[in-house]
Amino acid sequence: MKNQFAGPNFVEEVILKQDDSRIGLIRIKPSSVLWKPRGQTQFYCVTLDDFIDWITSPSTGARRTYK
């Protein structure tokens, strides 16, 4: 494994809409990013390298934050 967290093996967060209804769950690991939509039992998974390529591509419209 080329990347690792010093603490837990993954970070997991529930994503909520403004009305507090659940959209899904994102799990971030040192080697991958996983997404599970509300009501689903299985995750969609992409490697961290593929996620980096996707999020930094001009075609995604992603912008840098300044916080």
Q: Residue 17 has what pLDDT?
A: 96
* Assigned token pair, 30: 């040192």
Distance CA 33, CA 7 (A): 17
Q: Which of the four pLDDT bands, split at 50, 70 and 90, describes residue 67?
A: confident
Q: Residue 7 has what pLDDT?
A: 77
* Assigned token pair, 58: 């001009």
For 14-61, how does the pLDDT look when each residue is reduced to its tens digit (9 = 90+)? 999 999 999 999 999 989 999 999 999 999 999 999 999 999 999 999
**Residue 51: DSSP 8-state:** H
Distance CA 24, CA 44 (A): 11
Q: Which of 48, 52, 16 is nearest to 33 (CA)?
A: 48
